[in-house]
Structure 1
Amino acid sequence: MIPPSRAPGAATDPTGDGDVAGKPWWLRAALAVGRRWPTWLALTCAAISLADVGDGLEYMILFVLPATGYLFLAVVDRPRITWVVAVAAMATVVVLRTLDIDPWPALAVVVVALAAVGLLNDRLRRPRLYALQSPGALAFMAFGLVVLSVPATVAGYLVAIGLLGHAAWDAMHWRANKIVARSFAEWCGVLDLVLGVGLLALLLVR
């Protein structure tokens, strides 16, 4: 009997429980903790980052860049390469900033180009989550531009809102288990949520 094929765009690393029947309780507990490694990694990253946060504007890239990456992964329909794409995208931004090149114009061009390609190859014409990728990436990009245009005293709060908005976006992808690797959606969602709440708290007490 031929096993059913995986649906297009389905992530390949779901964090399901698997078959743990018959295993000792301590091993089941260890496996349960281990399956949540994206959450532990995100909490660690957030704690380190919040310990040395400035005005919060440094976090703006965290909801614009991933939205662009999600759009790219929807166009190529390769969830398996999610982490490779994420690392490559972050490395590119670091290199651009090192060379004193503003990454925002390049990101805007990439978003528009990906939206056009995705419509041409029909990947972004699919229903539900696929159809939301272009509007979602454009919305996060536009929100980032709004943040850049307001006073710094207001911008930090908007960045926190953007992070919380992207946490919800991550949750949608995690639940659907499509377009991006589920482990990345979990990591990104927890990171965005903790940074967004932490940034709001820090801004309110300053």
Structure 2
Amino acid sequence: MKCNSRPKAVLVALLAISLFTTGCSAQWISVALADLPVLLQMALNIGSLVTTLQSGQQLSASEAQAIQNISAEASKDLNLLQTLYNQYQASPTAGALQKIQSTVADINQNLPALLQAAHIGDAVLSARVGAAVNLILATVTSFAALIPQASGMPTGRKAAAAQIGKKAAIAKPEDLKKQWNQTVCGVTGKAGLDSAFSVCQVK
């Protein structure tokens, strides 16, 4: 009886681990796939600011290009991340997981670098663009806290992904929209800017 009970106990334990892992995988994927469409809209709306502000001649050519670069990079990286999540959901492999982790780490390098390189003269506009980038970054890094660690991932990238995910709060889509509309598109008291920010809200 004892000999038979041990294999059964092991089988039950393995089944429990399998179910737990499946549940966790479903959670970290579903959270990201729910938030990513909102983040993509945010990225596009950063670019829409340029069109509105340029029409009012409130941006120099270099400022407009810098903001467009941020919007384009964010859109490209977030689209890639969404594709990778969908691919992993359809076919979960270690390689697909590593690509997700690497892309998260890349986003956290690329966007801050572009933001730092952007020299926006208007302090309010600069702060709002910074808030937009930071909200996207905070949300993407919160995904990292839920991503299972891939053993084959380069040590530096693995450490970066783990570090940026620590203590990150996972925001729901409706919360993201609210934060964006308040911190990025809220009233500034400057008529020209408020006109532009009024069309950048995420609904």
TM-score, normalised with respect to structure 2: 0.39
TM-score, normalised with respect to structure 1: 0.39
RCO higher in 1 or 2 (8 Å CA, sep ≥ 6)? 1
